[in-house]
Amino acid sequence: MSEKKKLFIKTWGCQMNVYDSERMAESLGHEGYESTEKVEDADMILLNTCHIREKAAEKIYSELGRFKGLKAENPDLKIGVAGCVAQAEGEEIIRRQPMVDLVVGPQTYHRLPKMMETVKQGKRALDTDFPEEDKFEHLKLRPKAKRAPAAFLTVQEGCDKFCAFCVVPYTRGAEVSRPVERIIREANELVERGVREITLLGQNVNAYHGQGPKGTMGLAGLIAELDKVDGLERIRYTTSHPNDMEDALIEAHGTCAKLMPYLHLPVQSGSDKILKRMNRNHTAESYLRVIERFREARPDILLSGDFIVGFPEETDQDFEDTMALVREVHYGQAYSFCYSSRPGTPAAERALVDPQVAKERLHRLQELLWEQQRQTQTDMIGRTVSVMFEKPGRIEGQMIGKSGYLHAVHAAAEGVQVGDIRDVKIIATESNSLTGEILP
């Protein structure tokens, strides 16, 4: 029997890319590849790329450069580029990098087996084109057995929002939702394989409107259906947009026990002028009102967000408006970035803020966000939270899991199995995790 070939995948970007990498690994599994963590052992290297920030393509080219030696040693080594850089610059990659054998987009990876046939014949394959009738076929690839108790499930893809800074609508295409029945079936399959927590994924997950038994359903309807899946204990979703918040979803946070008390709701800026320039179609005030309603439904909900500083025309006052919004919300966790211009987006044409000024603003914002995160963690001390344990910790007998608020929690866990959900009393906080004691 011939030995299996080794596949090394490196993934950048959002959780949707993580999900796609898993599906691609499974698909290539049927082609005789098994995953390896060691790039030196690989018979095939696949880079699943992200295009969201500046220099993404350059980074991929320099990454590819590092494989030159490996390719020289092993001329049969296959190299592929997938994801959003592949989608945006596929032809350029093929032209500039002769050692790349395969370029596949985020909507076309279901055609990998066919592409591999081409590659096996010593030819190069480029496939980033998704004709209407074939669109979203990739989402029919079903997840295989995995030992982890927490899994992602893509329910929605693409974006119709066209924020002035963002490449996603161009690389991931228009919004589309998977049918309810298929999602429920997949959730059941995951649960049969030991999954107890599912994170519903989408670039605009709360814009979900999938075909259900009685017409289309929003995200709240889908969550109500998932609530009925026996053995599924925890439901999360990400990433939401403030403009797609339906009342029923907010309410669900107060009524559905399986829905975890955590919300990632990017706002990007606290200045109405900048929000307008960003084409966000909401104001700081309307965002704050949405947050207020979530807190009414679920007072302990932990809030997370995304911020961009130094967007074109951002003044000191605009930035102070962002700081004021952050103070008002009080985030438990957040991501913040300096604006970077992305070719092809409307904002790419506009004059940049002085990079030094942008950097200083980012620094101040991150100090504030960090302080809020620390405070949120400190406030957990003395509280009892439910933790789902996911893997052994570094210390013998210890395990690490996630609380409902998505905090990493470690505890001495004699006799606890991966996937067990236990009440844990928090006793200390470290920089990015909490320490707890499992209650009897």
Q: Binding-site residues for [4Fe-4S] cluster, please?
A: 14, 50, 84, 159, 163, 166
How many of the other CB atoms lie within 10 Å of CB of 395?
Answer: 9
**Which residues, at least 6 apart from 100, have a Cβ–Cβ distance to it below 8 Å?**
64, 79, 80, 81, 93, 94, 124
143 to each of 115, 138, 146, how far by Cα in Å? Answer: 21, 12, 8
335 binds ligand SF4 (CB under 6 A): no
3-state secondary structure of 323: helix
Q: 171 or 199, CB closer to ligand F3S?
A: 171
Instruction: Determine whether 80 is exposed, middle or buried from the number of CB atoms within 10 Å of its CB (0-12, 13-18, 19+).
Output: buried
168 binds ligand SF4 (CB under 6 A): yes
83 binds, among ligand SAH, ligand SF4, ligand F3S, none (CB under 5 to 8 A by kind): ligand F3S
Q: 154 or 372, CB closer to ligand F3S?
A: 154
Torsion of CA 383, 235, 219, 177, to 10 degrees: 140
3-state secondary structure of 22: helix
CA neighbor of 186 nearest in space, from 213, 209, 154, 218: 154
| Contact track, ligand SF4, 188-227, x by CB under 6 A | ---------------xx-----------------------
Binding residue count for ligand F3S, defined by CB under 6 A: 13
Task: Tell the smallest beta-carbon distance from residue 106 to ligand SAH (Å).
Answer: 14
20 to each of 10, 137, 152, how far by Cα in Å? Answer: 12, 13, 10
- Looking only at residues 106 through 135 of this chain, which bind ligand SF4 when binding is defined by CB under 6 A? none
153 binds ligand F3S (CB under 6 A): no
Task: Tell the smallest beta-carbon distance from residue 162 to ligand SF4 (Å).
Answer: 6
| Contact track, ligand SAH, 235-264, x by CB under 6 A | ----x-x-----------------------
Phi/psi of residue 419, nearest 5 degrees = 100, -10
198 binds ligand SAH (CB under 6 A): no
162 binds, among ligand SF4, ligand F3S, ligand SAH, none (CB under 5 to 8 A by kind): ligand SF4
Cα–Cα distance measured from residue 250 to residue 266, given in angstroms and rounded to the nearest whole number: 16
Q: Which residues bind ligand SAH (CB under 6 A)?
A: 52-53, 159, 165-166, 168, 203-204, 239, 241, 266, 268, 306, 308, 337, 339-340, 342
